[in-house]
A and B are shown apart, each in its own frame.
Chain A
């Protein structure tokens, strides 16, 4: 689960990480009072809050120019920009073409960094341990830096049960050239807070880029990003409350309410599949036949009939779809349950689009029979390849 920059900063501050001063607003009426709270500033940073990156270079749906991150010296101009961004849609390289609605603005002091430090904590799958990454060359994309000069990124693996040790913090601080005591104290507070958030709140990534070295020789986080692991959300009510469903695709939100993993894609063949691996393989199979999938959908292996019904409704609601397909290989998932769910979604109406079915595993034969009787145009594939071929024919694609 992603959270907004302002939410990440509030959490970092609550864990004693030094964070820039700023205020968040959700409606035009709040702007003046918020600016009063922030106090007079030589310059103001006005930042549209959306989940996608690349905000500075993004553009607004109504043509408003200048990007979603602006630095201005005048309070009135800051207020005007904030009002103009609110309620707009911001489109960036990461979320084009639709963009995301701007429902919150972060207005902050502007700190001129003397140096920009990159620091993050995430889980290193190869080592099967958390890892702390730090670099003196922060501010830009860490992926680019890793490609260009990997020697400039320092790593410290963290023993999960012992936690981050003081000597590790010291080691990194000296490598980053943080010689002053006060800087090392700021750095230690930053890393301790980041580690505690990851460990106590089941975050999958805690990143500050940049952690600014100020003219006064202190460290301050001027950007912050935290991702939370979906698997950990069940035990963190406070983190669940940070979810902003307006930033997500409505169909994905719909699916998530029924415990399903759905991702909207831009093709024409809608996929009802179980298991992430088979769902991906089904997409790959379609691509091999020149057909683009309209979605990724993993029903899991334990979904009740209601969830299957909702999943099929989601597929039916997509007007781009030219053909529907079912590819189920059930361990616990019974073919009869899938058929019940699909027929439940149709609610007695006739299915207007072509349907191709491939079903194996538990009660597959009975499930196929139910679908054959209720949906006369349904085509049945005996394996994955013939599924791809039948969908290709149904969508009129040429090989």
Chain B
């Protein structure tokens, strides 16, 4: 089993005709993902790569192809609108890859999410993969291996790094979720860790966090109270100078509480094994979980 997505997930790709979307959709299809529809207003009736039907509206993709997940590559100016359309079409899971959506747009999306049953991953996310089952995202396929460790991360490339360390040690993954680097976003660390905790086939969890915000501390609090599975973590940005935003919207040390040292202490107090440096993430997990 895996969380959120598996081999039965029926995917609609929004913005499928764009360059990046085309590239990644092909890789997802190669991986075995069931991309059943594309969304591109004005190109309804055409086919992507001669096979995947393209629709003008999300509603049609749901009605005609029973799409139950949306993967969004729409450029920043229209991305929030695309998420809103997917919510309106009652698509249960929306994964937004788009980087650079204005916060004011995402705040409106957040209000809609509160009153809907849709789960959002991202934006500014690498996506989600359940190795061996399906992939909705931009991660390189070869670094993954099916298994039982759940990985949740704010960063794309650092998720790849973590997964690759695991795979090279022979440790497979149940699902890897990139929650995205933006300040206003969907699922957070705590939400994903809860899903992993409730998934019988996920045996251990790795959280990759970074400086800024309070989400890692909230997740640690949940772990302390509810999680018996081994949990390891890494917090990126211990060497970041205060007051300078490290790329991600959230990654800024604005006070004592958002610095790496404070976060690491909160995680360790919750019984989480925290890697001393980013080269030791898989090793730290393996030690905590008692695997090779």
Contact = CB atoms under 8 A, between A and B. Distances in A.
A273 to B, nearest CB: 8
A332 interface: yes
Interface stretch (B41-49, B148-156, B195-203, B220-228): B148-156
B273 to A, nearest CB: 17
A330 interface: yes
B107 A332 contact: no
Interface stretch (B8-16, B85-93, B157-165, B284-292): B157-165
Nearest to A203: B104
A286 B278 CA distance: 10
B214 A126 contact: yes
Contacts of A261: 247
A285 B244 CA distance: 19
Interface string A270-285: 0001111111111111
A263 B244 contact: yes
Contacts, number: 174
Interface string A288-303: 1000010010101110
Interface string B220-256: 0000000000000010111111011011111100110
A229 B110 CA distance: 18
A360 B239 contact: no
Nearest to B159: A277
Interface string B85-108: 000000000000001111110011
Contact of A275 (B108, B143, B157, B239): B157
Residue of B76, B104, B138, B236 with most chain A CB atoms under a 10 A cut-off? B104
B111 A265 contact: no
Interface string A93-136: 01000000000000000000000000000010110111000000
Contacts of A282: 278
A231 B239 contact: no
A252 to B, nearest CB: 10
B29 interface: no
Contacts of B138: 301, 331-332
Contacts of A283: 237, 239-240
A179 B192 CA distance: 48
Residue of A265, A274, A277, A279 with most chain B CB atoms under a 10 A cut-off? A277
Contact of A288 (B77, B181, B276): B276
B140 A362 contact: yes
Contacts of B23: 332
Contact of A277 (B137, B155, B184, B238): B155
B277 to A, nearest CB: 4
A277 B239 contact: no
Contacts of B161: 278, 281, 329, 384
B215 to A, nearest CB: 8
A287 interface: yes
Contacts of A285: 277-279
B139 interface: yes
A265 B165 CA distance: 28
Contacts of A360: 140, 143, 160, 164
A338 to B, nearest CB: 13
Contacts of B99: 300
Nearest to B250: A125
A196 to B, nearest CB: 12
A125 B214 CA distance: 8
A363 to B, nearest CB: 10
Interface residues of B, number: 63
Residue of A94, A204, A286 with most chain B CB atoms under a 10 A cut-off? A204
A133 B41 CA distance: 42
Contact of A293 (B102, B110, B158, B239): B239
Nearest to A199: B104
B126 interface: yes
B270 to A, nearest CB: 18
A123 B103 contact: yes
Contacts of A296: 240, 244, 246-247
B59 interface: no
B139 to A, nearest CB: 6
B113 to A, nearest CB: 9
Given A125-B213, A265-B241, A279 B247 contact: yes
Nearest to B138: A331
A331 B139 contact: yes
A330 B140 contact: yes
Interface string A251-266: 0000000000101010
A232 interface: yes
B278 A231 contact: no
A234 B208 CA distance: 31
Nearest to A330: B140
A149 interface: no
A180 interface: no
B265 interface: no
Contact of A331 (B104, B126, B237, B248): B126
A76 interface: no
A159 interface: yes
Interface in B90-146: 99-104, 107-108, 110-111, 126, 137-140, 143
Given A235-B77, A329-B164, A280 B156 contact: no
Given A161-B108, A278-B155, A231 B101 contact: yes
B58 to A, nearest CB: 21
18 contacts: A125-B184, A125-B213, A125-B214, A130-B107, A199-B104, A275-B155, A276-B248, A277-B153, A277-B236, A280-B211, A280-B239, A280-B247, A281-B236, A281-B278, A329-B140, A329-B164, A360-B164, A385-B280
Given A159-B111, A274-B157, A281-B234, 10 more contacts: A235-B102, A276-B155, A277-B208, A279-B246, A280-B211, A281-B278, A287-B238, A332-B24, A360-B164, A383-B165
Interface of B: 20, 23-24, 76-77, 99-104, 107-108, 110-111, 126, 137-140, 143, 153-161, 164-165, 168, 181, 183-184, 208, 210-211, 213-214, 234, 236-241, 243-244, 246-251, 254-255, 276-280
